[in-house]
Structure 1
Amino acid sequence: MTRAAITKPPLPTRIATKLRRWQSRLARVPAGAGPERWLFIVTYGRSGSTILQKLLGSITGHYLAGENHNSLHGVFAAWRDATILKAKYGWGHEGIDHPWHGADVADPDGYARAMVAAFVANILRPPRGTRVAGFKEIRYLTEDLREYLLFIDRFFAPAVFVINVRSVDAVAQSAWWKDADKQELAANIARFEAITDALVAEFPDRFIKIDYARWTSDPETLRPVYAMLDARFDATQIAETLSVRLEHMRG
């Protein structure tokens, strides 16, 4: 089989790209350093999360990345498996001929801390000078949502979780969900809200819920979010940001 030819961009373009990458590395937080606080927007598709990302990411000292295709969930799943390994087989009495030999020395939390550090250094990569860092993600309509968010809360402390919701009818009408089973979507969103409502009630110091319909029509409803982040609230600036239609929503 003949390999397809790869067409490289012009030399000046390649040089400029490498220069930008080098400058980006220099501008990022060094390994081992971290922000004072973490921020996570927890939601689902077509809930207005990108404009919320823009609002909260524009706060001085904040770096709020967009979606990472749920990359962090794999870290959670690996930690969960290692935790089961330790709890079920890590009793220290298995000989070298035992299939679970060595399980007693496993360190699930150390494993998680190392993976979280790798995620921050290689996926999130907040710039230098960042006080609050995090990301928004829409892939949270899962049955393990509570356990996953508590994992993030544990290994990214201190953190703030902004739970963003929107009317099921409005969400279901968007092109994003055109091929989805609407009853299943409604059930998944209902489960999402039940789980996150419980977390907001249980941990009101770091979990806060907002509704798209309310904060887009009345920016004042975002004031508690800014207060939780110790950030200056400017209703006029927020209203101006909300008035600009996002590029991915055009057409």
Structure 2
Amino acid sequence: MKDHENEENLPSGVAISWGLGKQPQRGPKRELSIKQIVETAIEIADKDGLAALSMNKVASTLGFTTMSLYRYIPSKDDLLLLMQDAVCDVPFPTDDEETDWREKMREYVRVSTGIIQDHPWFNDIPISGIPVTPNQLKMVDIALRSTRDLLLNDYEKMSIVLLLSGYARWCGTIMKDMNRALQAGKSPGAFNGIDYSTALKKLVTPEGYPDLYPVLMSGAYTEENEEENTVGDDFDFGLERILDGIEHYLISKRAQ
């Protein structure tokens, strides 16, 4: 960290992410670093989940006392924030002026969902405010690039970023839960419903479920007839409809 106080009055974890504050004046003979601590914490959370993560676990993994860690990172909440920021430091395709805005938005959602896929604990940390750490703000900046040449004001641009980010977070959460269940031994058929198709067709009646019944009987609900599926991947389908909505909004604005 830079050798000066946190003049911006930022929360401690945010200040650390920006390199503000003072280095510990005293510490163990073999010095730690914030980067070491955060990387070790990420490794633990990636392997064993967020429930297994503690300051004590990180310290013992590194071969230090827990108090040694607190000289660098004041609390576990600060550590979690720094972990989230660190995993947002991801490669992103070079900004290509020839790429249309729809593809740029698709890429942003893919990258955002990929972070959650690679680090399933990411969404286990509750949202506590707007992004304010450097790498998370880079993600916002990347998302805004897709709106750069669109006829939108700043509030509309940020609303679209929030929409895309929310969709990516939702997709990432569903994928994370599915992967965890599969790793725990759950059948893939439990997710697409094929395991329960025969039973459901007996239990679901047209009288009790008038709109679900024909969908169930067609095989669409349990993905029985994938060759007849003209939609494709559910997550991609949802994203394309969001992009269609944005495009419709742009057309209406141009017509005003």
Calculate the TM-score normalised by the size of structure 2. 0.23
Higher strand share: 1
By relative contact order (CA 8 Å, sep 6+), the higher-ranking structure is 1
Calculate the TM-score normalised by the size of structure 1. 0.23
Larger radius of gyration: 2
